[in-house]
A and B are shown apart, each in its own frame.
Chain A
């Protein structure tokens, strides 16, 4: 019976950890149970360490585990308190939803809004809420307004709530309550403080634009690590293992003449692989500068696995920056120098002119071996003209790949994305992780 309870508790604890994002397989649960047999169950620290050694396998998970352990193995009184707190939070949430449904009505019929949208409404400042209600009221009283105006009104309210959802991200996080089938688990999950994810993981998945100034050195280190790993992987493929290579009979015979023709030392054919030539075209207009800086850094960190890199930045026109990267070794210094000297940094975007200028002034760089990589958020003037120019250039080079720094969910809303997608392959590239993935899977692969 005792053992059974122990097993049930461990399984439930693992369930809690899984809900908190830890990846735990069943073999690890078995390990945990075996480990518990080797320690004194009455010693809290020993139990914690046994579970930790078997269930936590990433540095960033440590803090999550510690918190979960403290909550899960708390005294029954503390657990009961947590459950009460959860019930109170749930009631408050229901109240907010009911209030929102009552407020947000068009001619006495509630607007069709999701629960999440209603919660956003409940969280916005009273003045903004009143403004929204006044607007609904005025619309409802309008003379020309028919009943079929409702969808238009709903979509306007929704738009406004979407804006608020972004700016109230932190406050709304607290309102979101776990709602699984297990009330005990819900109470525990709701009591957990927001844990910063494994710092490195979160930086890699963070939009490059949002990486805080103080995290930049760490982000750069991570980027260099990613680049180094990519280079390792690719180089390993270039110098493939002996087993997969073909014997070079001619070289082998010549080399083994000294042994009287006995093949003591075998010689293999060099496996030559075409390394890609990259032409990088980075948008450095206004908000794009941060992305350009990271992408340039990454590409130049993997220079050993590409045959050549030509770097260009563009905003209103195109500017060649290849020489900056060959002259100096310290990347940060190079970037500062580049930003100071560049004419294009921070101006408006005109891709069409930039491409035209690229084609006119650097035709020798646009060969059938060249991959053209464009790093931009697609927000440019004269989209139609730019699409035509791009189609023109695509005929001259091996391929054109667009690394789009706009987060993928926003692609639908931008018409320019669709226009450019008709001509070129486009991949999201707003995080360091996405940048590494696209380079590994789509360009160098």
Chain B
């Protein structure tokens, strides 16, 4: 597929990922300039999904590095298969010379490639998703931006490994902490927000064609109202809106009312404190009424 904004829009739409031109143009630039794209935004706005869609659109492999507290180079880049090396040593005690053995056990066969190395070694252009990069610490971030700037890594025993194809790199962050300037400098930047009511209606309709337009509008308005409440800490994600829509279709509802909202609220708000805040600030009856207003 030739990379143009129009082509991307069409491919994303076909895949059911409905988004604004701002997002499409930024993705287009990241692909054209072969730069990593750092996506920040609230949880559940579709950051990770964007990487998955890219992989599907370009029909390529998605290599995912899920970041967590304490993630280090061993888990992200490569590790020597120590147990296998030992076995090899045991087996060739008598037969092979020491130099040959050393060369053998430090060869690619004994290397356990982790996501970053896999992406660098991949023969075709893959999508590398570095998810929730804000959960790692600064040391790892520094290591990461070295890899991302040159797309090459050094394995002391093997030498420098250069990427055969520069992967499409998507980094996501929930903004739990500010990432370093160094990392940001190497990336293009996109801040994703929750979709507008109109956009969310389109998303619901694209993903769940069985949901009638009227219900989709009510759902989108209701979710927007909930998201606007400051006291609610975990705002409903787009995926949760879709779950809610699915549930309502299953229950055979074609309109939102107080009882239905009460019965299905736990699909959107999954914390007791958020549910309490909702009841106190908004209430099921009021939400149902607000969702009907054009």
Contacts and interface: CB of A to CB of B under 8 A. Distances in A.
Given A59-B191, A241-B74, A264-B83, 9 more contacts: A35-B29, A38-B29, A46-B25, A54-B189, A57-B184, A225-B176, A232-B70, A232-B137, A264-B82
B32 A236 contact: no
Interface string A32-58: 001100110000011001101110111
B154 interface: no
B35 interface: yes
A38 B22 contact: no
Contacts of A229: 176-177
B70 A239 contact: yes
B2 interface: no
A263 interface: yes
Nearest to B22: A49
Contacts of B82: 264, 266
A62 interface: yes
Contact of A50 (B25, B69, B177): B25
B254 interface: no
B69 A235 contact: yes
Interface stretch (A22-30, A151-159, A387-395): A22-30
A53 B70 contact: no
Contacts of B228: none
A31 interface: yes
Contact of A217 (B21, B35, B177, B230): B230
B178 interface: yes
Interface in A136-193: none
Nearest to A62: B191
22 contacts: A27-B185, A35-B33, A38-B32, A38-B33, A49-B21, A53-B26, A53-B29, A53-B30, A53-B188, A54-B188, A57-B185, A58-B178, A59-B191, A225-B176, A229-B177, A232-B69, A232-B70, A235-B70, A262-B90, A263-B86, A264-B83, A266-B82
B233 interface: yes
Contacts of B69: 232, 235-236
A38 B178 CA distance: 29
B35 to A, nearest CB: 7
Interface residues of B, number: 38
A233 interface: yes
Interface in B21-46: 21-22, 25-26, 28-30, 32-33, 35, 38, 40
A303 to B, nearest CB: 17
Nearest to B181: A23
Contacts of A54: 29, 188-189
B86 A262 contact: yes
B188 A49 contact: no
Interface string B177-193: 11001001111111100
Size category, A interface: 35 or more
Contact of A31 (B35, B38, B135, B190): B35
Given A25-B185, A53-B188, A59 B40 contact: yes
Interface string B68-82: 011010100000001
Contacts of B185: 25, 27-28, 57
Interface of A: 23, 25, 27-28, 31, 34-35, 38-39, 45-46, 49-50, 52-54, 56-59, 62, 214, 217-218, 221, 225, 228-229, 232-233, 235-236, 239, 241-242, 262-266
Contacts of A53: 25-26, 29-30, 188-190
A25 B284 CA distance: 50
Nearest to B90: A262
Given A31-B33, A45-B21, A46-B25, A59 B175 contact: yes
Contacts of B29: 35, 38-39, 49-50, 53-54
Interface in B200-231: 230-231
B94 to A, nearest CB: 15
Interface on chain A toward B: helix, strand, loop, or mixed SS? Answer: helix
A53 B27 CA distance: 9
B217 to A, nearest CB: 27
A402 B187 CA distance: 41
B137 A236 contact: yes
A230 to B, nearest CB: 10
Contacts of A214: 230
Contacts of A266: 82
Q: Which of A53, A218, A241 has the most CB of B within 10 A?
A: A53
Those 10 A-B pairs whose CB atoms lie nearest each other, nearest first: A57-B184, A53-B26, A49-B25, A232-B69, A57-B189, A38-B32, A53-B188, A35-B29, A59-B191, A229-B177
B86 A38 contact: no
A62 B176 CA distance: 18
B284 to A, nearest CB: 22
Nearest to B28: A38
A242 B70 CA distance: 12
Given A31-B35, A46-B25, A236-B70, A56 B189 contact: yes
Contacts of A27: 185-186
A218 B83 CA distance: 50
B32 A225 contact: no
Contacts of B38: 57
A265 B83 CA distance: 8
Nearest to B42: A59
Contacts of B187: 57
B112 to A, nearest CB: 15
Contact of A34 (B21, B33, B74, B233): B33
Nearest to B23: A49
B230 A218 contact: yes
Interface in B43-57: none
Contacts of A233: 137
Nearest to A236: B70
A242 B79 CA distance: 12
A214 B90 CA distance: 68
Contacts of B137: 232-233, 236
Contacts of B83: 264-265
Nearest to A214: B230
A171 B175 CA distance: 34
B29 to A, nearest CB: 5
A218 to B, nearest CB: 7
Contacts of A56: 189
A27 B33 CA distance: 13
Contacts of B191: 59, 62
Contacts of B35: 31
Nearest to B193: A59
Nearest to A26: B185
